[in-house]
A and B are shown apart, each in its own frame.
Chain A
Amino acid sequence: MLSRVAASFYWLSRYIERSDGILRMLKINYASSQDAVREFTWKPVIRIYSVADAELMSKLDNDSRAVLAYMVTDRINPNSILNMITLARENARSVQEHITRDLWQCLNEYYHCVKDPDVTERLLHDDPISVLDNLNKQIMLYYGTAEVSMERGQGRSFMNIGKFLERSIQAIDLLDIKFGSVNNNPDLLTDTTYWKHLLQSIGGYELYLKTYRDGIEAESVMELVMLNTDFPRSVIYSVNNIGRYYERLKKESNLSNYRDIAFQMGKLQSSIQYSSTQSIGQMGLHQFLTQIKKDLYGIGNLLNEHYFANS
C-alpha cells in the first residue's frame, strides 16, 4: 500500500473519532449546563478541544449556545466539527479508490449534513441536543458502514489504529483535565454530579453503575476510564486495540521497522496493564497520564517515519 494512502486512512479516522468525541462531550455538557446554571463552566471542554485564547474563552464561557456554534460550525476554529469533517473528507477523497463506495457516500452525507446552514441556526435558537444527536448518528452510520463494507486489509488496520489512538488520547486528556481541576477545588472530589458528567460524556455511566455498587467515587471513575478492559472507550481497551490492529500489519511490513514499533507498543501496553489504582496513585495521576500520552505520540511519530514516509 502507498504510504500516502496509509496516512490518509489513519488521519481520516483520527478526524472522525475526534469529531465523535467532541459531539458526545458537547451534548452532555450542554445538558448539564441546563442543570446547574451558576457553577457550570465550559472551560475544560474548550481547553481540551480548541485553541481559543483567554479573551475568546472568557467570552464563550457563560454562553452555551455560542460555545456550541463555535465548536460545531465555526470556520476559524480548526477543531470545529465542520473543519474536521472537511479534512476527513479530503483524506477520503484522496483514497477514494481504496474505500468502498458506501463508505464514501456516507462520509459525503455527513459532510453535507454539517454544512447545512440550518445547523448553526438550530444550535443558536432551537433544541441543540437534537442537532448534536443527529450529527452523532451520522458518525455511528459511518462506523457501521466501515465495519460491514471495508475489506479486512491494511487500509482498515490503519483506520483502526488511527481511531483507537485518537480515542485513547481523548480519554487521557479528559481524565487529566477533570482531575487537574480537583487540585484547585478540593470540593469537587466528593461532588457526585461532577463525576457523573465525566462518565456520561464518554458514555461510561451505565457500565460504572453495574461495576461499582457503592456510589460514585473519583478513584473508581479513574479505574473505569483507565483500566477497564470491557469499556470500549477506556484507555486500556483503546491501547490494546492499537496493538491488535498493528499486529495485523506484520506480514506486510518491513521487519525491522515492524519490530521497532512493536517494541514500543508492548512497553506501553504492559505499563498500563500492570498498573493499579494504587500504583497510579503513588506515581501521581498527572505524571502517569503524561507518560502514557508521550508514549502514544511516540508511536504516532514512528508510524509517520516507518509507514507514512514522512520522516
Chain B
Amino acid sequence: MYQSAHFSEYHAIQGVWDEMYNENHHVREHYQRVIAYLSKESADNLNKKEELARRLFMTQGITFTVYNSGEGIEKIFPFDIIPRIITGEEWKLVENGIKQRLTALNLFLRDVYHNQFIIKDGIIPIDVIYSCPHFLREMYQLDVPHDIYVHIAGIDLIRDEKGDFFVLEDNLRTPSGVSYMLENREITKRLFPDLLPQCNVRSVTDYPNILYKNLMALSPRQISNPTVVLLSPGIYNSAYFEHTTLARLMGVELVEGRDLVVSNHKVYMKTTTGLQQVDVIYRRVDDEFLDPLVFNPASVLGVAGIMSAYRKGNVAIVNAIGNGVADDKAIYSYVPEMIRYYLNEEPLLKNVPTYQLRNADEREYTFANINSMVVKKTNESGGYGMLMGHAASEQETEDYKKEILKDPRNFIAQPTIALSAAPCYLQGSLQPRRIDLRPYALCGPDGIEIVPGGLTRVALKEGSLVVNSSQGGGSKDTWVLD
C-alpha cells in the first residue's frame, strides 16, 4: 500500500460507494496511477498546487460576482485538485443511458406540444402536464428545426451504495457549468504535468466545436455563413464568465437583449454598420424573460417580438422554449415510462424512486417516513426549497408539511440516496466527500454526442449531501479513461 502521510489517514465512509477504495480498502485499479503519482508528492507540494490552482482561477477571472451594497465581490467556484475518475466501461453505460433518455425526452416534447399521444394513451395523467407552469401553450403546434427541443442537456447522475448510476434530475432548459468542465481540465494540465497522457484520459476540448457545428446546422436560412449569437443576460449574471468563455471558444458574438431587435418577424443585431440578421440564438436567458410581449412584460433581458420570429421559423432558438415541462420534477418519475413508450426499450439508467405528493397515499407514506426522505419543489433548482428529512429539525419538518398541504402538486419526495464519495484534498489530507456527475449531452441533426467527461460537483462540507455551488459545493476535474 501507499504509505504517504496524507494517504494513510483516508477513511472511506461506511455504507457509501467510494470511488477510490473498494470494499477491501484497496485502491481501485483506475485510481492507482494517480495515487502513485500523488503519493510521491509531499504535502507541502500539494498545498502549493492547491494555491496555484486558486491563483490561476483568480488571475484568469474565472470567477462569479456577488453584488453586495453596490460593490462587486469576486468569488471563485472552489476547486478540488484530486480528479474524479470514471472507467471506460462505466462511461459506456452513462453515455448510452443518457443518449437513450435524451432521445425519449425530445420525442416527449415533440409529442406533448403536438398530438399528445402520451396523454391519450394514458401513460402520463393530463393534469400533471397541464399543471406544470413551464408547459407553454405558446409552443403548441410550433414546429422546431429537426424536431430537436433539447440541444444541450445536463443530466445529473449519482451513485448509490452499490455503485449503480441513478439519474437525479434532468436539466433541459439552460444547463450551466460546462465552462468549469473545460477550465478544470486546463488547470489540471498545469497542476500535474504529464499525468493526463500517462493515464490515457480522454479529451473534452471538442465541446465548443461540436456545439458550434450543431448551432450552424440549425440555421433557417440556407447560407454558407449564418450568424450565430450567444444571448446573455449581461455582466451582472453570475454565469457571465461562462457566457464569455463559450462565445470566445466558438468565435460567436456575445449579445444582450438590447443588442437585438425584431423587424418584420426577423431578428437583427445592431452593429456599427447597421442591422445584421441573426439566424441562430444560443440563449442563456430563461423562457420567462425572453419576450416581454409574450411572457414577463417587465423583462428587459429579452427581445420584444422574438417569439413571433421563432414561430415563423426565421430564427432558431437553443434550447427550445417550453422545455421546462420535460425537466419538471413531477414529470421526472414518468421518464422511464416514456422510454418504454416511445422507444420500446428498457431504461439503461435508473430513476431515483419518486413519490408524487399530490397522491394521497404516497403523501401519507412520505409523511410517515419523512426522516429518510428528501422533499423537493417540482420547479426549483440549485438546491433551493428542499427539505432533507434526516437533517431537518422537527419544527422545520412540521412547517414544511404545512406548505406541502397547501399545494401538493408542487412537491415530490425521494428516499435519501447516499451519494458516492471521492477523495478530496482538504487541509493537508485526503478526505472522502460526496459527489455527483453532470455530463453534457449535445443533440444535433446528426445525433447525440457527449464529450467524455463532465462536471463533478462535490459537497465540501463534511457529511453534507448537497453539492450545489450556492450551498457550499465545489467541483473537480472529471476524467474518463480510455
Using a CB–CB cutoff of 8 Å, the interface residues on chain A facing chain B are 1-4, 6, 90, 93-94, 96-97, 101, 104-105, 108, 154, 249, 252-254, 307-309
Contact = CB atoms under 8 A, between A and B. Distances in A.
A254 B254 contact: no
A127 B211 CA distance: 55
Given A97-B247, A105-B59, A154 B235 contact: no
A309 B59 contact: no
Interface string B234-250: 11000010001001100
17 contacts: A1-B272, A2-B269, A3-B259, A3-B270, A3-B271, A4-B256, A4-B270, A90-B235, A93-B235, A94-B256, A96-B244, A96-B248, A97-B247, A252-B272, A252-B273, A254-B274, A307-B272
A190 B274 CA distance: 54
B255 interface: yes
Contact of B259 (A4, A108, A307): A4
Contacts of B255: 2, 4
B61 A2 contact: no
Q: How large is the interface on B (under 10, 10 to 19, 20 to 34, 35 or more residues)?
A: 20 to 34
Nearest to A252: B273
Contacts of A308: 272
Nearest to A1: B272
A93 B244 CA distance: 9
Contacts of A93: 235, 240
Contacts of B253: 2
B258 interface: yes
B234 A2 contact: no
Contact of B272 (A90, A101, A108, A154): A154
Nearest to A309: B270
Given A94-B234, A97-B248, A6 B272 contact: yes
Contacts of A94: 234-235, 256
A228 B269 CA distance: 42
B85 to A, nearest CB: 31
B235 to A, nearest CB: 5
B254 to A, nearest CB: 6
Contacts of A249: 272
Contacts of B259: 2-4
A108 B256 CA distance: 23
Given A249-B272, A307-B272, 9 more contacts: A2-B259, A3-B272, A94-B234, A104-B61, A105-B61, A108-B59, A252-B273, A253-B273, A254-B274
Interface string B79-119: 00000000000000000000000000000000000000000
Q: Which of B248, B258, B271 has the most CB of A within 10 A?
A: B271
B267 to A, nearest CB: 14
B61, B240, B269, B273 interface centre (most CB from chain A within 10 Å): B273
A87 to B, nearest CB: 12
Contacts of A6: 272
Contacts of B256: 4, 94
Pairs A-B, 7 closest by C-beta atoms: A309-B270, A97-B248, A3-B270, A307-B272, A96-B244, A97-B244, A93-B235
Contacts of A253: 272-273
A300 B244 CA distance: 29
B255 to A, nearest CB: 6
Contacts of A254: 273-274
A101 to B, nearest CB: 8
Nearest to A308: B272
Nearest to A95: B254
Nearest to A306: B272
Contacts of B273: 252-254
B271 to A, nearest CB: 6
A4 B59 contact: no
Among A3, A108, A254, max chain B CB count under 10 A is at A3
Contacts of B269: 2
B244 A2 contact: no
Contacts of A108: 59, 61
A1 B235 contact: no
A108 B269 CA distance: 29
B345 to A, nearest CB: 42
A172 B248 CA distance: 40
Interface string B428-454: 000000000000000000000000000
Nearest to A154: B272
B271 A2 contact: yes
A108 B259 CA distance: 26
